Chain A
Amino acid sequence: MRIFVEAVGVLAPGIKDWDNAKLVLGGEQPYLAAPLALVAPACLPPAERRRSSPTVRLAIAAAEQALSQTALAPQDMAMVFSSYEAAGVITHQLCEVLAGSREVSPTQFHNSVHNAPSGYYSIAMNAKLAASSVCRGKWSFSAGLLNAAAQVLADTIPVLYVCYDSPMPPPLSDVMPVLDATAIALVLTPAATTQTLAGWEITLSSGDGEVPWPAWMPPIWHANASARGFAALATLLANPADPACDSAALPLSPELNLQLRRCPCQPQVL
């Protein structure tokens, strides 16, 4: 499968956007931890802005970054969101309430669905095409990317892909140790445009569910499915000194990897 990467959004503690990420991924700047500040996205209508959870804000903020770098309209994109556990804080709050008064708050409940970020996003952007919400545990980045790429090619449309993880509170963090928020957003297209960053040739290959993590990355991010996306982003940086850096293997299952290889892109004159 060959798809094209049109735009990128990145959010993590110490990485505030794609320009910033490029410096770290390219080795030009060491990774430096810094708190990630999330504000409620301005694109949400007031009621939704008030009700949105930190997870929703994280996913939408990453998406907005990617959208700011493309001329393509969000209304023309299908949407694929993916996450290991979409709503850690809300799951915790719900389970606490259910173990006590059982008086669940309606907003908490609708925020608890795995597709809450895609739902809020579609409202914010008035985006009415197909929206999916994927979970494949710790392999969610590659599973969501496979789903998004298939939609790009099978339906010949641009797809916004967002993979995100938000911190789990205790005691859930004991069994699901996501401690930092990380999110990556991609606008993917079926053909190259004048803004294309690179093409990706995507194949399935055999694997064992594990692939080494980048050396610069804080080890606590290894619990984040979306942190696998940094290896994918690294392939977008042309580095003549290291030809191997144009490909990445992303674990998809105990037996499979999703293999990405950067390929040249020729913009199509429309």
Chain B
Amino acid sequence: MTPLSIRAYTTSSAAGIGKAATALALHEARSGLAPNDLPWAPLPCWIGRVNAAEGLALPAALAAYDCRNNRLALLALEQDGFMSAVAAARQRHGPARIGVFLGTSTSGILSTEIAYQNRDPVSGRLPAAFRYDTTHNLDATTEFVRIVLGLAGPAMTLSTACSSSAKVFCLAERLIRLGLIDAAVVGGVDSLCGTTLYGFNSLQLVATDICRPFDVARRGLSIGEAAGFALLDKEEAPLRLLGYGETSDAHHMSTPHPEGDGARRAMLEALERARLDVGQIDYINLHGTATPANDRAEGRAVAGLFGTTTPCSSTKGTTGHTLGAAGITEAAIALLSMEHDFMPGSTTTREVDPETQCRIVLRGAARPLRHVISNNFGFGGSNCALVFGKAA
């Protein structure tokens, strides 16, 4: 495919607010995870909490959109000059020629959880102040971001669990290629809530200790929250989206195909679109959730395709598993790694599971990176692989 340029991008998670802080955390192998201190979800686990977003005030005109997810979205939008970059694109292309496509798994569902704790004891009704459309609905953050950025092109939310904000790149590429729009803001926002903390816990997928992707003693994931955005267009830029692959496992709702069949096909399709051979990939940012099943299946898929030499790591020990925001968070990490020529390590992993055949990098290292793959997989057997490149 014809590459798309990454005109601007930004990421905010527990690892850091904005690109510089995130890059520093990756360089220093510092985890943003901490023991769960959420008073409203007392579960013994580690979380990636973005405290800085919690007190943020939304513009008065958008007060109806106030919720944890949209505060986090606004915090991320305000970093790295992203809003100025979008303003310049708006000037250049016109607001109706720029799309907005975001991924999320739970949007502002925490607002509904809180509303349910405050139902009228007699009638059972939700509090009068509760707003569903502008907080909980999966499109609430997309519409909020579209309004904040002053854009008028087509917009929509993709919600395919943990691949959501990777798949937005594919949608944007198609609409730009077909000429319906000239540029797109893509990204994703997911915030901590009882639904995902207790939901993943019910599936015995949440570790009580910090998550340790691909570790022999891995026990499950640590949930984090994050927001990130990228501005894509057709003009020249050093960082580019070169390819993508999207597949379905058609195997099980909440367990990956044991051999990583869907993951493998997604990576293959991404390489084909990018017209690259496996040997040209310098680094793979794995989905690497630290659940026994994901890491086993993904490790097999990667080793089957790339063998044992291509360096891979999971940065979920740094950011936590940010679910619907994992795609954009790890896309941003892939882009940062190429900008800094620094391959991030697997911060919290101590001893790689001997069953793993792909080459897991524990410690980050300076290394020239031209082509990087980012993998994201989700419930429902939804797989997405993205290939990013740096102009020589």
Contacts and interface: CB of A to CB of B under 8 A. Distances in A.
Contacts, number: 211
Contacts of A252: 154
B291 interface: no
B295 interface: no
A119 B113 contact: no
Interface in A102-144: 102-106, 108-116, 118-120, 122-123, 125-137, 140, 143-144
Nearest to B199: A109
Nearest to B253: A110
Given A128-B262, A150-B178, A255-B152, A136 B248 contact: no
Contacts of B200: 109
Interface string A140-158: 1001101100110111000
B139 A109 contact: no
Contact of B156 (A48, A129, A130, A147): A147
A22 B294 CA distance: 46
Contacts of A170: 124
Contacts of A40: none
Given A134-B156, A134-B158, A255 B380 contact: no
Interface string B25-58: 0000000000000000000000000000000000
A1 interface: yes
Interface in B303-356: none
Contact of A176 (B132, B153, B161): B132
Nearest to A75: B250
Contacts of A144: 156
Interface stretch (B169-177, B212-220, B275-283): B169-177
A96 B288 CA distance: 32
Interface in A68-108: 79, 84-86, 91, 94-99, 102-106, 108
Interface of B: 96, 105, 109, 112-113, 115-117, 119, 124-126, 130-133, 137-140, 142-143, 146, 152-161, 167, 170-171, 173-175, 177-178, 180, 194-195, 198-203, 246-254, 262, 265, 378-382
20 contacts: A1-B178, A84-B137, A95-B113, A106-B202, A109-B199, A109-B203, A113-B380, A116-B379, A116-B380, A118-B380, A119-B253, A119-B379, A122-B380, A129-B247, A130-B247, A133-B159, A134-B157, A137-B133, A154-B173, A171-B125
Given A99-B117, A122-B250, A127-B250, 9 more contacts: A99-B116, A113-B160, A123-B253, A126-B250, A132-B167, A134-B159, A171-B124, A175-B130, A255-B152
Interface of A: 1, 48, 51, 79, 84-86, 91, 94-99, 102-106, 108-116, 118-120, 122-123, 125-137, 140, 143-144, 146-147, 150-151, 153-155, 170-172, 174-176, 204, 206, 252-253, 255-256
